[in-house]
Amino acid sequence: MVAYLAANPDLAFNDVDVSLQQGQAIITGRARILAFSVDFRAATTIIVINGRPRLKVLSLDVLGGLVPGFVKEQLIQMIEQSADLPLLADQPVTISDVKIEPGQAVVVGNLI
C-alpha cells in the first residue's frame, strides 16, 4: 500500500507507514480532507470479496477525535478505496483468504 500511495500523488495521503501485526494492519500517516490536514492511525484488516482482497477499517483515530464526524467518515472511505489495489486484477487467481501476521500477510488462493 505504501508504494501505491507514493506512486499516486493525487491521493491525499503522505508520510504513510503500515505495520503488520497479528490479525491487523496498522496504518498511520497524514491525510488531506477538504480543508483539513490531519494525522491518523487506522486499525485495518483484509476481507475477501468475490475472490479479491479488500481493506476494511476497524477503527480510526484522528486528532484524538477532535474532527467532525463527516471528516472521519471521508477518511475511512479514502483509506478503504486507496487500498483497493489492482495488483492481482490481471492475474489468473482467486483469493480465498488473507491472514495478517506480524510482519507479513499470507494469501491463500487458487489459480483459475
The answer to pTM > 0.85 is no
Q: Are 42 and 57 in contact (CB under 8 A)?
A: yes
Model confidence over 67-112: pLDDT tens digits?
778 778 888 888 888 766 555 566 788 889 999 999 998 989 888 7
Q: Provide, for the chain, the percentages of residues in helix, strand and coil under a 3-state DSSP scheme, each rounded to the nearest 5.
A: 20, 55, 25
Whose CA is closest to 81, among 49, 107, 56, 46?
56
Give the model's pLDDT for residue 74.
83
Spell out the domain ranges in the chain.
2-111
